Amino acid sequence: MGLFNREAPHRTADKAAINSIIGRGLSIVGDLSFSGKLKLDGTIKGNVKGEYLVIGKTGGVTGDVDAETCICQGKVRGNIKSKDLTVVKGCRIEGNVETVNLAVESGASLVGEVKVDDKDLRLIKTGSVSEEQLPEIASNG
């Protein structure tokens, strides 16, 4: 499901194109800067800055993330700044998000403020819900 973007692209990690992997069980303490594509299945306690970041289901960041593209399946406790951000089912973000394109799947958790660059933002018309389609409200009597 797309939120705030013109279309609802479903971005997935292209495993063949990932340059580096921080494996499950590996923990890094300190800031990390990288170029290319990084898959994070371990944990980082520090800020992360790079081009294309995939935070896997077992991955986590305690610190701020600044990436051109970020696909989050794991956990982030910190702020995220990313041009293209996809928050996948099972992901948990505790921090503020600043983005241009945001896609949030049902079942993802985002606790914080979301700021979307709205200069290119357009509303997508969806079907309206008639009163007949609304669930009944149970009476207390």
Domain tally for the chain? 1
What is the per-residue pLDDT for 44? 97
What is the per-residue pLDDT for 139? 53
Cβ pair 46, 28 in contact under 8 A: yes
Domain assignment present for 115: yes
4-16 pLDDT, tens digit per residue, is 544 445 555 555 4
Domain assignment present for 140: no
Domain assignment present for 141: no
What is the per-residue pLDDT for 126? 47
Domain assignment present for 45: yes
Tell which residue, 11, 39, 13, has the closest CA to residue 103: 11
Cβ pair 90, 57 in contact under 8 A: yes
What is the per-residue pLDDT for 117? 82
What is the per-residue pLDDT for 140? 56
Domain assignment present for 138: no
Domain assignment present for 66: yes
What is the per-residue pLDDT for 120? 58
Amino acid making up residue 71: I
Can you tell me the distance from the alpha carbon of 47 to that of 29, in angstroms, rounded to the nearest whole number? 9
What's the domain range around 98? 2-133
Spans of the chain below 70 pLDDT: 1-16, 118-141
What is the per-residue pLDDT for 16? 47
What is the per-residue pLDDT for 85? 94
Domain assignment present for 52: yes
Domain assignment present for 92: yes
